[in-house]
Structures are given as C-alpha cells and as structure tokens.
Structure 1
C-alpha cells in the first residue's frame, strides 16, 4: 500500500473519531440540560404541590374529616414518590461527580425506575465489588446500561431484565440480559445510533461490546473492560474521551 493511501486512511480514522466524540459531547450537554431542568423545574414544582397537599391533609385531619384527610394523605404519599422518581431520573441524566460507588447506585436506581415506570421486572446484581473505576469509565458504563435497558423495553418488549456487574483480577464485565423478542434477523445490517454509541463507549474505556441473542429468547449486551491502575488512569486522562 502506498504511503499516500496510508495517510488518507489515517486521516479518515482520525476524522471519524473526532465526529464520534462530537456526537457524544452534544448528547452529553443535552442530557445535562434536561437533568437540570427536571431537578430545578419539575422537582421543585412537585415539592410545592406536596407541601400544599400536606397542609390540606393536616387541616382536614384537625377538622375531624377522616375520609378527605385519608385521601389527602394518599395524595401526599404519591407526590413524594413521584418526586423521588423524578430526582432519580435527573441524577441519571447527569454524570457530574460519578465514581465507582455511584456506579452501583446508578445501576440500582436504573433497575428500580424501570420496574416502576415500565412494569418490567428489572434487577441489579453485583457479583464482585469493583475498585475505583474513575469518572470516565463509570459514566460510560452507566450510559451503556441505560441504552441497553431502553432497547430491551422499547424494541424487545421484555418484561424481565437483569443488570449484572462483576469485577475480577484485571477486568470487569457489565451485562444486561432480557427475555424480550430478541434481535431482528438482519440486525447487524441496520444497527442504529444506540448500538453504535454503546460500542464507541466500550472502546473509549479500552473495552469491547458484544450483543448476542440468548439461547431461548431475549438478548444479552455485555461490555468487558479493563481495570486500570491509578497510574494507568492518570496516563489516560489526556485521551479526551468524553463522558456523559
């Protein structure tokens, strides 16, 4: 192969990587904006309604109206649950401050929210605790799990989903299994932006992504990733891989 051809291929690869990073950066900024609006807008409005409902409940209870007071108490409970779900969603959209401890919390919250919002039985299992993964790796893993679960619910119509995280000597594995309808026959020919970004996120943390049908039904998405030492993580900070 001639030198000019090699240089042209190298330029194309570099431009593609820049485009991938720009796409993720745009998506990250939009998620941050929506997360802030949810927290500062919707959550605050719901909190105000909950306070008014609590005042109504106390007033009805004091005036000796048990049935209306019970209804107001139930309204307060439902509003507080909705506030909690909205705050979980806002935190899930924002990756600020993520660390390895937040990875487990974020995956637990994801499973809980999917079960509550979509009626699917979604669980999170941590086989072996992971060491400090760093903000970049944690953020990418959370986004991979979110996208895989979204696909399982929206496209796979799954009603059982398992998110599993395991770390052993030198490597980690995040897997998402579902019992949905499985993959289309020619899914590799039309893998959408979601699968594309999941694959890029896996590569951004030095890992690899596999998407395979399960033996009976459903799909398993798995991201295998290396566990970097503190020194290796410091060395990789300059790689400019974007979280979020």
Structure 2
C-alpha cells in the first residue's frame, strides 16, 4: 500500500528517538554514580589522609624537626590541591548546578570550574533573560556545553572559551565559542561527542550546529524552544568570569 513506507519510516524515527533517549539516560546515570563515588569515596579518603598528615606536621614542628615538618606540610598542601581537583571532576560529572538550580547558575559554575582547573579562561555571557526550563532540558543543555568545552580544550587546544546564553526571536540560544585551532579531522572519540550533543539537542526539540569561525576556532550553537510562559527580560548583557 502507498502509505506503508511512510508509516514504516515514522516508526523507525520513533524507535531511533527512543533509543537515543535511553542511551542518554544510561550515560547520565553512570556519570552521576561515578561523580558521587568520587565525591563520597576518594575525596573523603584523601581528606582523612590530609588531616592525619597535618597532625604529623604539627608534631614534627613541636619536636624541633623543621625539615620533616616542612615536608609533611607540603604533602598536606598537595593533598588539599588534589582534593580540590577531584571535587571539580566529581562536580563536572554531575554538576551541583543541576540539582535544582537554574541554567544560568549551572553554566556559570561550569565556566568557573574550567577557568580554575583546566588551563583555559572561560566566561559566561548572558543577556539577562529568564529561562524557566524543565530540569531535563537544563541537564541536556549543560551537558552540551560541557562536551563543547571539553572538545575546545582537548582537541582545539583553546586558551579562551565563551559560553553565551540568550533569547533570540522567541527561542533560546546556547553557543560555545573558542579560539582554538579549528575543527580537527574526526576520529572515533570526536564523532561520539558530536553525535551525543546532537542527540541531546534533538531530545529537547532543538537543533545543533558546529562550525569553524573565520580565522580560527569553533562555535557550537544549540537553538532550543522556550516554554510559552517565558518572556525575555530587558537588561544589559552580563559577563560572568572567574573572580
């Protein structure tokens, strides 16, 4: 019958969308579990070791052993630095900003963590619009930003990254722009990251575009629908960076 191919095609698309959502749900669950294990397991163990080493450093200082005391104090410093890096990693796997906070705060937290611990300056620029989004939509947008930032640093070797959030013509727009070396030749890992970002964009009814910038660098843009109640607020553009 004439209608059968079209119906089969629609069923195939529905099955594909369901499969994509299941893949993203599994990936996010694993990220959350790993982040929780890092925070509650490794970080707590390191904090205990740091506390014991601090006691050792004080005892050595009291016993007039300045050399060993200084070495123990340096170990405490390095442990505390490692704890901070592990916590940043745990928050990156499942950002605290996803636990009830809004999209702007979650992206601001991402930008600050990148600037603090990943060797690149990252800032959030937002136009003051209010985004009342479903938590799932917020989570997918933050994941898109994370993946784009990771690609910019790892593959693009970027030193400056801008995360921009705005309301344009009644739709939300999230863009991540970097000053790196441009679009690399895709390998298996790159392809997975780009496909995952596209899955997430489609999951929230949006679209994703990845393009090279004139000169150098890459811009990743996700355009997404806003709930009918959302209206862009008037106000000056806000730039958020590390304090």
TM-score calculated relative to the size of structure 2: 0.80
* 1:223 aligned residue: 222
Distance in 2 between residues matched to 1:125 and 1:76, nearest whole Å: 37
* 2:16 aligned residue: 16
Structure 2 gaps, min length 5: 231-243
Task: Note if contact 2:96-2:106 (Cα within 8 Å) is conserved in structure 1.
Answer: no
- Shift in alpha-carbon separation, 1:81–1:103, aligned structure 2, 3 A: farther
Deviation at 1:69, TM superposition (A): 3.6
* 1:238 aligned residue: none
SS across alignment from 1:122: strand
| CA deviations over 1:132-185 (Å, ceiling 9, x no partner) | 323111100110011111111222222222222234674322211111221247
Distance in 2 between residues matched to 1:112 and 1:96, nearest whole Å: 13
* 1:163 aligned residue: 163
Deviation at 1:216, TM superposition (A): 0.9
- Shift in alpha-carbon separation, 1:61–1:112, aligned structure 2, 3 A: farther
Distance in 2 between residues matched to 1:9 and 1:30, nearest whole Å: 32
* 1:94 aligned residue: 94
SS across alignment from 2:101: helix
- Shift in alpha-carbon separation, 1:78–1:103, aligned structure 2, 3 A: farther
Deviation at 1:67, TM superposition (A): 4.9
- Shift in alpha-carbon separation, 1:57–1:145, aligned structure 2, 3 A: same
- Shift in alpha-carbon separation, 1:205–1:89, aligned structure 2, 3 A: same
Give runs of aligned pairs for residues 87-236 of structure 1, distance below 5 A. Answer: 87-94=87-94, 98=98, 101=101, 103-167=103-167, 170-184=170-184, 192-229=191-228
Number of residues of Structure 1 aligned to a counterpart in Structure 2: 228
SS across alignment from 1:165: strand
Distance in 1 between residues matched to 2:49 and 2:103, nearest whole Å: 32
| CA deviations over 1:92-119 (Å, ceiling 9, x no partner) | 3226882673534433343344344442
